[in-house]
Amino acid sequence: MNKSELVDFIASEAEISKAAAGRALDAFTSAVKDTLKKGDDLTLVGFGTFSVGERAARLGRNPQTGEEIKIKAAKVPKFKPGKGLKDTVNGVK
């Protein structure tokens, strides 16, 4: 499913216009980005938790030359699914 298909789905499920569904989806993604940028977690009970993790600096290899390269430490977004989402995916009611 891509973004336009998701907007169509939200619009039909919530019985709102596609424009309103698009704005709602954009507001949600902005909220997630802003919360993670601050270093906070965003939890949707039953769905999951968005958080920020730390990836340590490490050595890697350039696949074309085999040369060692340094990969900087980085913050990475993470998602941990909640029980409700896991149950839905596994067919548990």
pLDDT digits (tens, 9 = 90+) for 15-73: 999 999 999 999 999 999 999 999 999 999 999 999 999 999 999 999 999 999 999 99
Using the predicted structure, report yes or no on whether residue 79 has a pLDDT greater than 80. Answer: yes
Using the predicted structure, report yes or no on whether residue 92 has a pLDDT greater than 90. Answer: no
Domain boundaries, the chain: 1-39
Quickly list H helices, 3-82.
3-14, 18-37
Using the predicted structure, report yes or no on whether residue 77 has a pLDDT greater than 80. Answer: yes
Q: 8-23 b/e with 16+ CB inside 10 Å = b?
A: eebbeeeeeeeeebbe
The residues with which 71 forms a beta bridge, in sequence order, are 58
Phi first, then psi, for residue 49 (nearest 5°) are -125, 130
Q: What pLDDT shows up at residue 4?
A: 96
